[in-house]
Structure 1
Amino acid sequence: MKQKIGIWIDTRQAFIVKLSNDKHTVKIIESNIDTRERVEGESKKYGRFGGQYLTYEKHQQNRKKEQTNIYFKNLLKEIQTCESVVLFGPSQMKNLFEKELKNNMQFASKLVGVHSSDLLTENQTIAWVKDFYK
């Protein structure tokens, strides 16, 4: 039983629509990526040479990158047994996930398209995936 999958992906969540034998199932995966984060202790520091402002930008970037990698691993678990995958969504996250799929030999041949789209409701997402695979 081969499945065709459409993934609407955003920075906050992914809607996974699985089509098999004219039936569909929807699964939502939350990303848990902190986009606006304030690090405790991020303030002006006074040192021996006067006022200095220390930023924790590198720590925030590393944390966001790690959270994105965990998000992608959860998505890859969902598409292991599928026949084909189409990605669509409004943000750059679909392009990052496309690179992740192309770098992984197991999933590189399954990707059939990447498209831009607006924020869709659940029913619109299901209809979009069904129209794509007709």
Structure 2
Amino acid sequence: MEKLIGLWIDRKKALILIIEEKKEQLKQIQSNLEKNTRFRGGARAKQPYSAQFFTAEDQIDRRLGEHLKKYYGEVVANIRDAASILIMGPGEAKFEFEKRLIHERIGQKVAVIEAADKLTERQFAAKVRKYFKE
């Protein structure tokens, strides 16, 4: 039987339900993403759009990008051998992750992407089961 995967993802955690031969396995991956860091001190540049003004923000963006790259990589490693993938989640993370799957050349395995607010593990598992049953 083929491996079916349901994924609920945001930038903080991912829930993965693997369904294979009437067996289910639920995994959770934490991103350990820090809250946005604010740099204190230092004078602000007189021209609000100068390079000096954006330096701290650029550092935060680069750090966030590298952190998400590592986190999404860990999730991809857990779902790479799926036959079909259902992706759910709030916000933009589900679309960022879809781009990562396309980059990894497994984007064709995505069956559907749908918006879903926070779900308990039981609600998530029930939604995945229902989707793949239909």
TM value normalised by structure 2: 0.85
Structure 1 residue runs of 4 or more that deviate by more than 3 Å after TM superposition: none
Q: 1:54 Cα deviation (Å)?
A: 5.2
Match of 1:45 among 43, 46, 58: 43
Q: Show the counterpart of 1:13.
A: 13
Alignment of 1:1-134 (within 5 A): 1-39=1-39, 42-45=40-43, 56-105=56-105, 107-134=106-133
The residue type equivalent to 2:110 in the other structure is L
Structure 2 counterpart of 1:130, one-letter code = R
Tell me, in whole angstroms, the C-alpha distance in 2 between the residues paired with 1:25 and 1:13.
17
Gaps in structure 2 of 5+ consecutive residues:
47-51
Secondary structure of 1:125's partner?
helix
Deviation at 1:46, TM superposition (A): 8.8
RMSD (CA atoms): 2.0
Q: State TM-score, norm by structure 1.
A: 0.85
- Check whether the contact 1:5–1:16 (CA below 8 A) recurs between aligned residues: yes
Which residues of structure 1 form unaligned runs of 5+? none
CA contact (8 A) 1:88 1:115 kept: yes
SS at match of 2:94: helix
Identity, in percent, stands at 28
Q: From the two aligned structures, give the one with the greater helix fraction.
A: 2
In structure 2, how many angstroms separate the alpha carbons of the residues matched to 1:46 and 1:27? 45
1:44 Cα deviation (Å)? 2.8
Does structure 1 retain, via aligned residues, the 8 Å contact 2:36–2:60?
no
Greater fraction of residues in strand = 1
Residue 83 of structure 2 aligns to a residue in which SS? strand
